[in-house]
Each structure stands twice: as C-alpha cells, then as structure tokens.
Structure 1
Amino acid sequence: MMFADQHRDLATLTAADRYRSLRPRAGVDFASNDYLGLAGSDRLRGAMVEALARGVPVGSGGSRLLRGNAPEHEALEAAAARFFGTEAALFFASGYAANTILFATLPQRADLIVHDSLIHASAHEGMRLTRAACVQAEHNDAGAVEDAIATWRSAGGTGRVWIAVESLYSMDGDRAPLGDLARVADRHDAILLIDEAHATGVFGTDGRGLAEGLDGRENVITLRTCGKALGCEGALLCGPAVMRDFIVNRGRGFIFSTAPSPLMALAVDEVLRIVADEPARRERLWDLVATAARVLAPHGVAATGSQILPLVLGDAARTMRVADAIQRAGFDVRGIRPPTVPEGGSRLRISLTLNATVADIEALGAIMGEALQ
C-alpha cells in the first residue's frame, strides 16, 4: 500500500488522541494572535488597495539575489531598522523561516547554542541544521544558562556562545528575564537571540516589544514576526549589519527562496506606522487583560500580565472535552496538547484580542464555569 508508513503514523496519532485536522473559523476570537485587531484594519486595507492601484506587484518573481529584490522590501527593512533602533533588518516570508535560517546559518562549528527549554519549534528546526553544539537550559533561568556556558568552557569549548530565548512565551504567557540574560551574554562575550513574536506591537514604546532597551547592541539579534499583533505576514530579523550581510551570502533558506510579496512588505511598513499612531489599540487590549484577570482567574486561568492566558488542565482528553464544550457555546478557545506543550501540560490557551469585547470575556467566564464542572 502506498504511504503505508504514513497511514500507520496517522493511526498511531488517532489512538493516542493526537490526530489533528483543519477546520473553518467559528465563534468569538479567543484563539488567534491578532492581538491588536489589525488584520482587518481599514487603514491597512486602504494602504493595500492604493498600492495595488499604483501597480505594486503581488509576486516578487524570484529570490532577493536575482530579480526579486523590490523597492518595497528595501523600504520596509530601512523603516524597521529605524523603528526598532537597530543597524539593519532583513525581511522573511515567515517567522518559522527566519528562525530556521538564523539558527542554521549564524552559529558556526565550534560554537555553542544555549536555548530555553520552551523555545519555539522553528528554533529547534534551525538547530537540527546547525553545525554548532546545542544545549537546553531550564525555562526562564538565567543562572542555568550561565552554568551551561561554564560547563561547556570547562570541557574545552572555545567558540562563540549564542543564547536563544523568547521574550514572551506563546503557551504560558510569561516573560523571559531579558536583563539578566543580557548580563550573562555580556560576561561571556555571547550573542543574545530574542524571539519577540508575541511581544511586538503589544509591549514597549509604540509597540517596539519587550527587548526595546536592548536593540542596537552589537551582541543582540531580535526576531519580530509580522503575522501576530502586526496583523500581516512575514518576519524581520533586526540586528547588526554583519548579521544581515552574512545571511544574504550564506543563508541557504534565504538565497534559494522566492522573495516575499512586495505587497506584503508594503503592508508591514504601513502597520509599523499604525501601531505607533494608534496607542489606543494597546490601551484597549490592556483593559481586556484586566477584565480577564478578574473574570477568568476564579476558574483557574493564570493571570500572566500578558494577553496570553493558559488554563493548565493536565489531562489531554479532558482538555479537549472542555474546549469542545466552550466552542459549541460560540467561543473559539483551543485545547493545546503534547507535543506542542510538555506531557501533563495540556491546557486551554486563551488569547485576548481586540476581536473580542469585555462582554465577550464575561460571557466566556460563565460558560467556562459550566464546562469545567
């Protein structure tokens, strides 16, 4: 039988209650990463319509090193470097692609990558391709990172150290101790890689993220994805110019990929202005965060101080039953199971966006109480 191995694997997933399928959107949005409601922004839509009318192409027609390097790509990268306060920026089609290329390209054979235990799957994909040694550190533990570096040095490690973390973790909603990690990087002549996917647009001055105070340093590289709070697609790697030049020359995933859409580059350029011009969006989001802390905490939902609120139920089957009951009541709350989260960590991931209202959160609280009984 063709694809016999794949059929067996799918049967195994089904037996383990891990089979996944795609389905249409339904219910009030408590699941997306469109935190500021920008994906449907009238201003963003208008910018796209105007760009199409004046002939900005949808497709790039080739890789950036061939004929795919459009003025819109270069304008976005210059604007992003100014906005985030870095020497340079480089635009990618997705955060997954950017992380994979970053980890596969920059660290070298004699180097060490110390990564947080909850780092994103895209970083792991890049580390599968890297020539550097990789070691995991306990979650949000700067001391564990420093211990890993010391152990590696004592065993004869001589190369560069790369410290890889997320500033805001997508399944737990907690923040990395960026100040402590920056000091570890300074003490060990290391480079700090910060994935700002879920913080960009939401935190910092004008939405510049949690790493705002570290941008522009020679030993810091940040990833800003554009498909979450920025409401678009793609990702920006921000850091020293040598980082940009090295990836352009050595990053196989960059060199041999068709360039992202010039139209999307223009959209991201516009949305950076929107997040700076419309602080009321962030203010409204924080009102929702405060409401959720009051309404949902009695049901066991963690008050994380961010827009991501987990309710860890542990058992995967129960998690999916509760999620199904909430969805049938008209609220799009998703159950998250291993391997996305650790074994025993199945949870509801409640995402607060401007696509929901205070009344929606209060209604969700009532439904959640019934579903958890």
Structure 2
Amino acid sequence: MADLFARHSQALDRLKERGRYRQLLPRAGHDFASNDYLGLADSDVLRAAAADAIARGVPVGAGGARLLRGNAHEHACLEEDAAAFFGTEAALFMGGGFNANLAIFSSLPQQGDLVLYDALIHASTHDGMRLGRAEARAFAHSDVQAAANAIRDWRAEGGSGRVWIAVEAVYSMDGDKAPIADLFQLAQENDAILVVDEAHSTGVMGAGGRGLAHAVAHHPNVLSLHTCGKALGVSGALICGARVLVETLINKARAFIYATAPSPLNAALVRAALREVAENRDLRRRADATLDHAHREAARLCGLSGFKSQILPVVIGADKPTMALAAALQEIGYDIRGIRPPTVPRNTARLRISITLNTSAEVISSMFSDLAQLREVHP
C-alpha cells in the first residue's frame, strides 16, 4: 500500500524540480492577480443585491439540472436581460466559462466541419474540441491571413462542412486583443461561424462594457461567450447568439444537460452586475483611468511597454526565476503570480500582472518601482 501512489508522488517531485509545482495560496497583499477588474466581487452593490434576492425568496440552490426541476425564474430573467444587454437573439446561463466552452465545441460543430482556432486559445476550448466530432486546426496567433490560408487549404483538401473560427477577444495570458473586425469579415466571406470568448473583455471593453465583438454580435454567424466571474464579479457564464444555437446546446450539450443548474441566487447577482455595468458609467471611467496610469507607470519605472489591456504579462523565460521573482513580490505585499508552461508556451514563463479597481494608483506606482528593483536581483 505504501507504493500505491508512487508514480503520482514521483510526478509531483519532478514538477518541484522543474519549478512547475502548483499549490493553493491564501489571499494576501495588494490584488494584482485577480480578474475582478471592476472591483465588484466584494462590492456593496452585490451585497445589497444578495440581501434583496434572499429577502424576496430567491432560492440559494437550484436543486437539479435545468431540464429537471433546476430551471428557476431567475435563470430565465437573467438570460432575457443578457440577450438584451449583449444584443443577441438568445442567451444561455451556465455554471462557468470552462463548462460553457466544453458545451460549445463538443456539440455545435458537426462531423465534417472544421474548428479553426487561434494558437493561443484557452484550454477549455481544446478540451471541448477533443470531445467534439469536427476536425480542429490551429492558425498562428491573431494572424487573419494564416486563418484564411488554412480555410483555403482545408477546402482544397475536400473539406465541405461549416468552418467555426474560435478566438478570444482578449487573451488571458498575453493581454492582447483579437482583430475582431477582420475575423468577422473572414467569417462572412467563408460562410463561417465566429466564436468569440469575451471572458476578459466583458464589462470593461466595447460599447458599454458589452465586449469587443459587440458591434457584430447580433449577426447570426457570431456566437459570444461572456463569463460572469471576472469583471462582473460573480460566477457562471453566458453563451449569447442565435436562438437555434442556444436550443441546440440545451438539447445536445452534455456539459449543460447533466450539470446541476447554477444557483438562482447567483443568477440574480449576475443580473445586478449587468445593471451596474450598464448604468454606472463612472465605473468604466475609473477602470480606464486606473489602467492608463498602470501603463504609464510600467513604462516610466520599469521600461515595460506595449500592453493592450488590463492584463500585463512580464515575460521572464525560465520557470524557477519567474517563481522566485513572484515570491519576492509577494513577500513585500503584492499578490502577483507566476505563470508557467503548459499554461503558456515553453520558455515564456511570466508574471501576470492584473490591473483592477481593488488597487489604488499609489499602490500601482509603488509596485512598479519595487518590481524594477527586484528585477535587478532576479534577472
């Protein structure tokens, strides 16, 4: 029995030797690690919404899958609100973005179709594609011409099904933005479906925080995924698009059919978060101002530039030096985490610095000043 899990222990030891061992750390220090971009997760707005929902009898638990008794009034109200807010025909609420991508890519692309995905697409999309029946091919990151060439080659090889182009609006580890307008044009030219994961743009980018693909989201060949656990401050995910696609997910997606429904209370909180984003213009203004300050200070104090969003990757390269620098920053009060392969490509381990409304401009300046000094000690 002593050797029952010997291989597991040995695998963990190898991860430790390579600087890739992961462990759960408590929250500590100034927030430069979360995705709570608008500071809503711990806000009075959502506390009040929770109290109100409980007072009016919204259930805490769903009690079952949506197709059984788990389908609550708050779920339907949220989906109606979300479709109106994001400008789509329909919406479907799921427990999280990972499950939502599993649902999309395992059930919507059909046998004979092609899923053409950005090389840096999220792991959940990869897992969804593995469960699906369509062929999957990558194209070079944000390279629209490479995507066009891949479609051309697939057609020349006899591919005759539908093409599904899968991208992230803002890439979670690089912070850069997808060329949505050009990708939509490519989809139009090839009678393809554009699937945009808006996880890191929902609430903070696009018209009124509606995401980078909002201008084209109403088109039937655009499907967007808006996660609720980042800028919206709660949890869950909303798949928004044509009604026929939403109904297909309800009927075909195992990740939806066999999952207990999200809490109706959680649905009520997401509704409140959407209202806050829609009505509180000062929230976006403060977020934009904080981000501008962070970009300026990164350049002024650290010589770091070229950032495109609230996600600031500082690429170190090797795994162990990256984690040592992250630990040094944590020790002096900044919650900054190191990101290593396989989350990012080999030899691109990095600090992922996240800018939120949980951290003041003064602390942001101090952090970049300290980072500049520590980079000399941990090159």
TM-score under structure 2 normalisation? 0.97
Q: 2:285 aligns with which of 279, 283, 299?
A: 283
- 1:32-111 equivalences under 5 Å are 32-111=34-113
User: Which residue of the partner structure matches residue 326 of structure 1?
Assistant: 329
Letter in 2 for 1:344: N
Letter in 2 for 1:319: T
Letter in 1 for 2:319: A
Helix, strand or coil at the partner of 2:66: coil
Q: Distance in 1 between matches of 2:288 and 2:363?
A: 15
Q: Which moved more, 1:339-348 or 1:70-79?
A: 339-348
Q: Does residue 1:343 correspond to 2:337, yes or no?
A: no
Letter in 1 for 2:89: E
Q: Distance in 2 between matches of 1:110 and 1:369?
A: 52
Shift of 1:202: 0.2
Task: Tell me the percent identity.
Answer: 53
Q: Distance in 2 between matches of 1:200 and 1:302?
A: 24
Helix, strand or coil at the partner of 1:66: helix
User: Which residue of the partner structure matches residue 244 of structure 1?
Assistant: 246
Q: 2:233 aligns with which of 226, 231, 255?
A: 231
Q: Distance in 2 between matches of 1:294 and 1:43?
A: 30
Shift of 1:253: 1.2
Q: Does residue 1:125 correspond to 2:127, yes or no?
A: yes
The answer as to whether partners of 1:301 and 1:310 remain within 8 angstroms in 2 is no
Letter in 2 for 1:179: A
- 1:1-373 equivalences under 5 Å are 1-297=3-299, 298-373=301-376
The answer as to whether partners of 2:113 and 2:160 remain within 8 angstroms in 1 is yes
Unaligned runs of 5+ in 1: none
Letter in 2 for 1:32: S
Q: Distance in 1 between matches of 2:7 and 2:282?
A: 52
Q: Distance in 2 between matches of 1:63 and 1:170?
A: 30
CA deviation profile, 1:2-23 (whole Å, cap 9, x unmatched):
2333222212212221111001
Q: Which moved more, 1:144-153 or 1:313-322?
A: 313-322
Letter in 1 for 2:263: S
Shift of 1:305: 3.0
Shift in CA distance, 337/300, structure 1 to aligned 2, threshold 3 Å: farther
Shift in CA distance, 289/303, structure 1 to aligned 2, threshold 3 Å: farther
CA deviation profile, 1:20-51 (whole Å, cap 9, x unmatched):
10010000001100000000121211111111
Shift of 1:206: 1.7
Q: Distance in 1 between matches of 2:302 and 2:318?
A: 16
CA deviation profile, 1:44-66 (whole Å, cap 9, x unmatched):
11111111122211111111111
TM-score under structure 1 normalisation? 0.98
Q: Distance in 1 between matches of 2:62 and 2:358?
A: 32
Q: Distance in 2 between matches of 1:237 and 1:175?
A: 20
The answer as to whether partners of 1:302 and 1:309 remain within 8 angstroms in 2 is no
Q: Distance in 1 between matches of 2:289 and 2:255?
A: 41
- Matched positions, count: 373
Letter in 2 for 1:198: H
Letter in 2 for 1:232: V
Shift of 1:300: 4.2
Q: Distance in 2 between matches of 1:53 and 1:234?
A: 22
**Runs of 4+ that moved beyond 6 A:** none
The answer as to whether partners of 1:312 and 1:346 remain within 8 angstroms in 2 is yes
Q: Distance in 2 between matches of 1:353 and 1:166?
A: 20
Unaligned runs of 5+ in 2: none
Q: Which moved more, 1:139-148 or 1:312-321?
A: 312-321
CA deviation profile, 1:344-368 (whole Å, cap 9, x unmatched):
1111111000000110011102211
Q: Distance in 2 between matches of 1:90 and 1:98?
A: 9
The answer as to whether partners of 1:33 and 1:353 remain within 8 angstroms in 2 is yes
CA deviation profile, 1:138-157 (whole Å, cap 9, x unmatched):
00001111111111100001
Q: Distance in 1 between matches of 2:166 and 2:47?
A: 35
The answer as to whether partners of 2:177 and 2:308 remain within 8 angstroms in 1 is no
Helix, strand or coil at the partner of 2:69: coil
Helix, strand or coil at the partner of 2:353: strand
Q: Which moved more, 1:275-284 or 1:84-93?
A: 275-284
The answer as to whether partners of 1:302 and 1:310 remain within 8 angstroms in 2 is no
The answer as to whether partners of 1:73 and 1:262 remain within 8 angstroms in 2 is yes
Letter in 2 for 1:175: K
CA deviation profile, 1:40-98 (whole Å, cap 9, x unmatched):
12121111111112221111111111111000000000000000110000000000000
Helix, strand or coil at the partner of 2:277: helix
Q: Which moved more, 1:48-57 or 1:302-311?
A: 302-311
